[in-house]
Amino acid sequence: MKKWYAVIGDPIAQSSSPRMHDAWLEQLDLDATYVPIHIREGELNEGFESMKRLGASGWNVTVPHKEAIVPLLDRIDPLAQRMQAVNTVVIEDGAYVGYNTDGIGFVRSLQEAYPEHEKGNVLLIGAGGAAKGIAFAMQQEGYASLTVANRSVERADALARALGNGARSCTLEEAERQFDTFDVVVQTTSVGMNFATAGTPLPVTRVKEGAVVADIIYNPLETEFLRQAKRAGARTLNGLGMFVHQGAESFEKWTGIRPDTKSMIQRLTDELGGTTC
């Protein structure tokens, strides 16, 4: 029987994951397909049972189900367990196992775009679900000095405490003052995504020499935050690489094959009408 993979969420029609995964499946000549499945909030239990009954070979999980799916799974990978959020379900010897590839997707994207970057001091802007995933993954991958800055500083404090190992928290104003002490800066808030949230969470005027400034937003490809960082001399990275690499990590877990990320980033960049990084 032809295998099928999916992404479940609400809304789901706008997702670029089916196009990306279908392109990889075709490139690699695998007899499988990847479909978007609309499962409403509060209907995850029935949805999960249907996925099992209909024989999905694995699936991605997006908003609003990433946390709610955790108790339904047979096992959870340690990183996803720490985050209490799952974006990938893999079937291992009949067991439904939850992983989270979002944070590691960001790290792989950073490593692919700037293999020589300094791991030194990292600033994370934001303390929500996205920041959490990236922070835990960066810590796992050897980024030892993490600072979390957030509008509501209590959330930054809570994330820094959960991270442990000397992670610090600060206000956005403090982060702005110390901006040029960071080697890697990651903007994880929704600020800059559209007209309703135009602008930047903090202004970028001075950056450390050689620093990489990343934004996890990829539509628009260049946020105001990245524009300011570029003007201040930073090397920049938009969120498309994170999107492609989180997908590549899932794809590899399902098929055992690492798909081509670089050409996919280029292809999606062209579709969004921009240039890479």
Residues assigned a catalytic role = 66
277, 238 in Cβ contact below 8 A? Answer: yes
Size of the site for ligand ATR (CB under 6 A): 15
What size, in residues, is the chain? 277
275: contact with ligand ATR by CB under 6 A: no
Q: Which is nearer to ligand ATR, 25 or 186 (CB)?
A: 186
Task: Name which of 12, 70, 78 is nearest 44 in CA terms.
Answer: 70
Residue 147 contacts by C-beta under 8 Å, 6 or more apart in sequence? 121, 122, 123, 124, 160, 167, 168, 169, 170, 175, 178, 182
Residue of 88, 121, 150, 269 interacting with ligand ATR (CB under 6 A):
150
67: contact with ligand ATR by CB under 6 A: no
Tell me the C-alpha distance between 141 and 195, whole Å: 35
Residue 126 CB, shortest distance to ligand ATR, in Å, is: 4
156, 127 in Cβ contact below 8 A? Answer: yes
Residue of 3, 155, 168, 230 interacting with ligand ATR (CB under 6 A):
155
User: The tokens of 116 are what?
Assistant: 């020589």
Residue 75 bridge partners (DSSP): 97
Residue of 62, 114, 118, 129 interacting with ligand ATR (CB under 6 A):
129
128: contact with ligand ATR by CB under 6 A: yes
Task: Name which of 209, 238, 210 is nearest 225 in CA terms.
Answer: 238
130: contact with ligand ATR by CB under 6 A: yes
194: contact with ligand ATR by CB under 6 A: no
219: contact with ligand ATR by CB under 6 A: no
127: contact with ligand ATR by CB under 6 A: yes
Tell me the C-alpha distance between 91 and 59, whole Å: 9
16: contact with ligand ATR by CB under 6 A: no
238: contact with ligand ATR by CB under 6 A: no
Residue type, position 110, single letter: L
Residue of 201, 239, 241, 247 interacting with ligand ATR (CB under 6 A):
201
80, 103 in Cβ contact below 8 A? Answer: no
268: contact with ligand ATR by CB under 6 A: no
Tell me the C-alpha distance between 113 and 184, whole Å: 13
181: contact with ligand ATR by CB under 6 A: no
Stretch that binds ligand ATR, among 5-13, 19-27, 128-136, 139-147 (CB under 6 A): 128-136
Residue 31 CB, shortest distance to ligand ATR, in Å, is: 35
Binding site for ligand ATR (CB under 6 A): 126-131, 150-152, 155, 188-191, 201
